[in-house]
Structure 1
């Protein structure tokens, strides 16, 4: 018991020193390397006392600290040219609570919160620069994602409707939140790097946001710039398509983690082929540079509704095909769905695998067929919208990948698995 007490006090002292070091380095006038450890230890001692005398001890402690901070700020305000903020004050109150939570709650949570406080304080300039780059459209994107994820999702009923009992509004919208979140991550990465993003980074960001939109954008640019841009455009389009395979594997990992030992290896084999081809293409691209075209906000409510409708239609079509046509009908759905949006068929198949309605050995084949269908569709877009030069390059690259994908479908061992660490997760 005594050893645990000193261990808790040691953690409290360490967290206080961590935050105090950052505040001292930032030249805070209110609290620094000595004050923050005292505050955190104050909270920890209050937590120990609260176990015997009740929670009012902690309440009185935080009230006393708040009065102490207010008095200190009042005294400082009498001096000329003093800028009194709230960051250090808020950190002091929070670290007191962290100190108390070390005793009354979970140590790992308290340590994580203390570390996050230190990191947030340290990243002041970086966060300010990021905020300075956020325009009205970017703020709208954030607010729209909040509406999509935190307003719409909680009110949707978590029960099945419609034929075959497969349409669950809550689960459908949860998939919408996942896809919009991935797109929004890529969008803000693009906003941070902007036009400075090079060819490889442009392809990566394009794959995160939308590989199809990236294909359309770069294909159109080759009409204006001719052969000079065809190699770069082909490389960006190809990288974005490779990232879309990573995106597929990520979606499976989130929705159906238990199937990864079976599903991930064949998809990773296709990704490896694409990485090799992309490396060869990058070697021959020369020294030319390119900038990424302006990207649209992926968090529009209209975009979310469209994806939700597509996802629901794919779920319904999958259930219908399985009931009426058997396993062969599912491949027809995969080909058609992959033409427009490979995310929808990936998520619906992943859910079927997770709940046991489909074997993983069949699920990865459906997903791979949809991915190959999507590649063929994007090659067609390049042929219609781009120059002949970029189409020839993309057609060759995608043709090799399609051939490799068909070989994987044909030759991959039926029950092959990689012994991953058990990835049990809460079912989505």
Structure 2
């Protein structure tokens, strides 16, 4: 039995959902003989009918009510199929009836879903324009890959330790792959939305979510080809390190929150230093002739890069587990530092995974992660010298050293 107060709340939510969706449909139904069949009153009544059916007769009566509404929606579609071949309003009417029934049992959830339905209905023009005019075939391909990785592969993977030393959790490793692709795609989308007019600084920040080392190399090569873009390129290189710190925090936090809490101060210090250093270069660079910055092209993310990242992560997990078994915590530091020359994130996540599995105390994760951060900084400085030359490195390297010093200095305060 439903309590009176829960029934009242459910019917209020059902009323609100019906009104919210009905207002959108009323605005789009048109006028005159060719107007749509369902508007504000129809959607509100459908939602209240679903709530009444769920309260009075349970699942059986709700199912009968939904079938009845679906039948009327089908007749409406049949009548208007020549002038309006779409099924949006009819589908929304059935969904509204179901949401009315759901509101009696789960009012909060029904309210949230109702708002999402209303947003989708109201954003029709923007969504159609985005899909037809802005979304490229390559981006659609990337979206399907991301959806398959998230919705198909991830649920099939086992969620328990396997392999030597029980060091590997396939679901955790694949979740990191998804996060790497997702964060890279966010950077790509940022450039697509804002456009190229903000120049190399924004491109560097967005690209840093994929690889800060590679971004510094690319910015150095750009500065070497076009010396007039030296300052904007240096700003992009500096801001790529901001992305590194942000991504590092996101990935460690997704792996283990206790490890993130232990590393919060070093990451905050390093990130703030990168923001200040990069911001100074942005103010300097925005007064320069930014030149032409190419539109974002290619893929939103690299699946190959993500898979290589997963392989590195698995190897580092195995190595760290073996060295910890042989040498204790000193082995973890050694393994993380060696892996940091190639990438900061993989060893950091490996260390956080050890914390999540209870193999390492959260405070003990700080030194290995900073060791990886340090060796990766060496790689970035080498890239700056080799790709951009001494002058580019003169702008970029001090920022990298200041970030590193700030991260280690945080240990003295903690």
TM-score (normalizing by structure 1):
0.87
How far apart are 1:87 and its partner, in Å? 1.4
Residue 367 of structure 2 corresponds to residue 365 of structure 1: yes
**Do 1:256 and 1:350's aligned partners in 2 also have CA atoms closer than 8 Å?**
yes
Q: Mark the CA change 1:281 to 1:255 in structure 2 (over 3 Å): closer, same or farther.
A: same
Deviation at 1:267, TM superposition (A): 1.3
1:139 is displaced (CA, Å) by: 1.6
Note if 1:49 corresponds to 2:56.
yes
C-alpha change, 1:302 and 1:139, in structure 2 (3 Å) is: same
2:62 alignment counterpart: 58
Match of 1:225 in 2: 226
What SS does structure 1 have at the residue aligned with 2:211? Answer: helix
1:404 is the counterpart of 2:406: yes
In the alignment, the residues of structure 2 paired with residue 392 and residue 309 of structure 1 have an alpha-carbon distance, to the nearest angstrom, of 34
Tell me, yes or no, if the aligned pair for 2:176 and 2:251 is still in contact at 8 Å.
no
Q: Counterpart in 2 of 1:319?
A: 321
Q: CA RMSD in A?
A: 2.3
- The corresponding residue for 1:121 is 121
Matches within 5 A, 1:182-261: 182-196=183-197, 198-226=199-227, 228-261=228-261
CA distance in 2, matches of 1:6, 1:320: 61
Partner in structure 2 of residue 419 of structure 1? none
Shift of 1:43: 1.0
Say whether the 8 Å CA contact 2:192–2:296 is kept in structure 1: no
Which residue of 2 is the match for residue 152 of structure 1? 153
SS in structure 2 at match of 1:140:
helix
- 1:304 matches 2:311: no
In structure 1, the partner of 2:33 is: none
Give deviations 1:15-63, integer Å, cap 9, x for gaps. Answer: 1111112222334523222222111111111111223xxx221222111
Single out whichever of 136-145 and 151-160 deviates more from structure 2. Answer: 151-160
Question: Aligned equivalents of 1:141 and 1:349: distance in 2?
Answer: 30
Return 5+ residue gaps in structure 1 as ranges. Answer: 414-428
SS at structure 2 position matched to 1:340: coil
Aligned residue in 1 for 2:103 = 102
2:332–2:351 CA contact under 8 A, matched in 1? no
Residue 393 and residue 15 in structure 1: after superposition, are their counterparts in 2 closer, same or farther (change >3 A)? same
Distance 1:122 1:392 in 2: 52
Tell me how far apart the structure 2 counterparts of residues 33 and 199 of structure 1 sit (CA, whole Å). Answer: 49
Q: Name the SS for the 1:34 alignment partner.
A: helix
Gaps of 5+ in 2: 31-35
Q: Deviations over 1:179-226 (max 9, x none)?
A: 222223323333444434544432332222332332232221112111
CA distance in 2: counterparts of 1:197 and 1:92, whole angstroms: 45
Deviation, 1:292, is 5.6
3-state SS, counterpart of residue 167 of structure 1: coil
1:174, CA displacement in angstroms? 2.5
Deviations 1:232-257 (A, max 9, x none): 01111111111210111111222212
The alpha-carbon deviation at position 116 of structure 1 amounts to 0.5
* Residue pair 1:176, 1:307 contacting (<8 A) in 2 also: yes
- What is the TM-score of this pair, normalised by structure 2? 0.90
Q: Which moved more, 1:39-48 or 1:282-291?
A: 282-291
Provide closer, same or farther for how the CA distance between residues 191 and 266 of structure 1 changes in structure 2, counting only shifts above 3 A.
same
Q: Which residue of 1 is the match for residue 42 of structure 2? A: 35
Deviates most, 349-358 or 232-241: 349-358
Judging changes above 3 Å, is the alpha-carbon distance between structure 1 residues 184 and 256 closer, same or farther for their aligned structure 2 residues?
same
Q: Provide the residue aligned with 1:166 in structure 2.
A: 167
| Distance in 2 separating the partners of 1:199 and 1:301 | 24
Asked if 2 retains the 8 angstrom alpha-carbon contact of 1:209 and 1:298, the reply is no
- Residue 353 of structure 1 and its aligned partner are, at CA, apart by 1.5
CA distance in 1: counterparts of 2:81 and 2:172, whole angstroms: 54
Q: Are positions 1:83 and 2:87 aligned together?
A: no
Matched residue, 1:423 = none
- Taking structure 1 as reference, are residues 293 and 357 closer, same or farther at Cα in structure 2, changes over 3 Å only? farther
Query: For residues 223 and 122 of structure 1, do their structure 2 counterparts lie closer, same or farther at Cα, with a shift above 3 Å needed?
Result: same
Distance 1:301 1:252 in 2: 21
- Aligned residue for 1:209, secondary structure, equals coil
Deviates more, 1:149-158 or 1:5-14: 149-158
Indicate if the aligned counterparts of 1:235 and 1:278 stay in contact, CA closer than 8 A: yes
Checking the alignment, whether the CA contact within 8 Å between 2:47 and 2:99 is kept in structure 1 is yes
| Equivalent residues of 2:181, 2:303 under 8 A apart | no
Aligned to 1:284: 284
My pick for the range that moved more, 115-124 or 256-265, is 256-265
Output the CA distance in 2 between the equivalents of 1:295 and 1:353: 39
Q: Quick check: 187-196 or 83-92, which moved more? A: 187-196
Matched, 1:73 2:77: yes
Counterpart in 2 of 1:271?
271
